[in-house]
A and B are shown apart, each in its own frame.
Chain A
Amino acid sequence: MRRLLLSIRDGRGFDIGLVSVPLAFLFAMAGLPLIYNIVMSFQEVDMFSLGTFARPFVGFRNYATLFSLPETWPILGNTAIFVVASIAGQFTIGFALALFFWTGFPGSSWLRGLFLVSWVMPGLVVGAIWNWILSGDFGVLNYILRESGLVSGNIFWRSDPDFSLWAVVIANIWLGISFNMILLSVGLSAIPQDLYEAAELDGANVMQRFYTITLPMMRSTIGAIIALGLIFTLQQFDLFAAITAGGPNNSSNVAQYWAWDMSFRQYDFAQGATISVIMIVFVMIASVVYVRSTRHEVRG
Chain B
Amino acid sequence: MTMHQIELSGVNKYYGAYHALRDIDLKIRKGSFVALVGPSGCGKSTLLRSLAGLESISAGDLVIAGARMNGVPPRKRDLAMVFQSYALYPHMTVEENLTYSLRMRGVGKAEARRKAQEVAATTGLSNLLGRYPRELSGGQRQRVAMSRAIIRNPKAFLFDEPLSNLDAALRVHMRKEIRALHDRLGATSVYVTHDQIEAMTMADHVVVMRQGVIEQQGAPLELYDRPANQFVAGFIGSPAMNFVPAQVGADGRSVVLDLGTPHIVALTKSVEARRTLIVGIRPEHLQLASEMDTALRLPVGNVESTGAATYVTTATQPELIIVLNNRVSIRRGETLPLHLDPTHLHLFDKETQIRLV
**Which among A197, A205, A212, A217 is the interface contact of B87 at CB below 8 angstroms?**
A197
Task: Please state if A192 and B75 are interface contacts (CB–CB under 8 Å).
Answer: no
Question: 1/0 per residue B122-148: CB within 8 Å of A?
Answer: 000000000011101000010000001
Task: Please state if B81 and A201 are interface contacts (CB–CB under 8 Å).
Answer: yes
- Tell yes or no: B105 within 8 A of A by CB: yes
Task: Please state if B89 and A201 are interface contacts (CB–CB under 8 Å).
Answer: no
Residues of B within 8 A of A204 (CB): 75, 100, 104
- Tell yes or no: B231 within 8 A of A by CB: no
Binding site secondary structure of chain A: helix
- Tell yes or no: B223 within 8 A of A by CB: no
Q: How far is the CA of A213 from the CA of B97 in the complex (A)?
A: 11
Task: Please state if A300 and B75 are interface contacts (CB–CB under 8 Å).
Answer: no
- Tell yes or no: A10 within 8 A of B by CB: no
Residues of B within 8 A of A300 (CB): 88, 90, 132-134, 136, 141
A110 shortest CB reach to chain B, Å:
21
Task: Please state if A201 and B91 are interface contacts (CB–CB under 8 Å).
Answer: no
Task: Please state if A213 and B75 are interface contacts (CB–CB under 8 Å).
Answer: no
Residues of B within 8 A of A15 (CB): none
Q: How far is the CA of A58 from the CA of B88 in the complex (A)?
A: 60
Residues of B within 8 A of A71 (CB): none
**Which among A192, A200, A202, A219 is the interface contact of B152 at CB below 8 angstroms?**
A202
**Which among A202, A205, A219, A298 is the interface contact of B100 at CB below 8 angstroms?**
A202
Question: 1/0 per residue B47-90: CB within 8 Å of A?
Answer: 00000111000000000000000000111010111010101111
B181 shortest CB reach to chain A, Å:
18
- Tell yes or no: B117 within 8 A of A by CB: no
Q: Nearest A residue to B91 by beta-carbon distance?
A: A216
A194-B89 in contact given A201-B75, A201-B81, A300-B132 (Cβ < 8 Å): no
List 11 A–B pairs whose Cβ atoms lie within 8 Å, in order of A's numbering. Answer: A197-B81, A201-B79, A201-B80, A202-B104, A202-B148, A204-B75, A212-B100, A213-B89, A216-B91, A298-B91, A300-B90
A residues near B, CB below 8 A?
192, 194-195, 197-205, 208, 212-213, 216-217, 219, 298-300
Known: A201-B74, A203-B104. 13 other contacts (CB 8 A): A194-B83, A194-B87, A197-B81, A201-B53, A202-B75, A202-B152, A203-B75, A203-B101, A212-B89, A213-B89, A300-B90, A300-B133, A300-B141
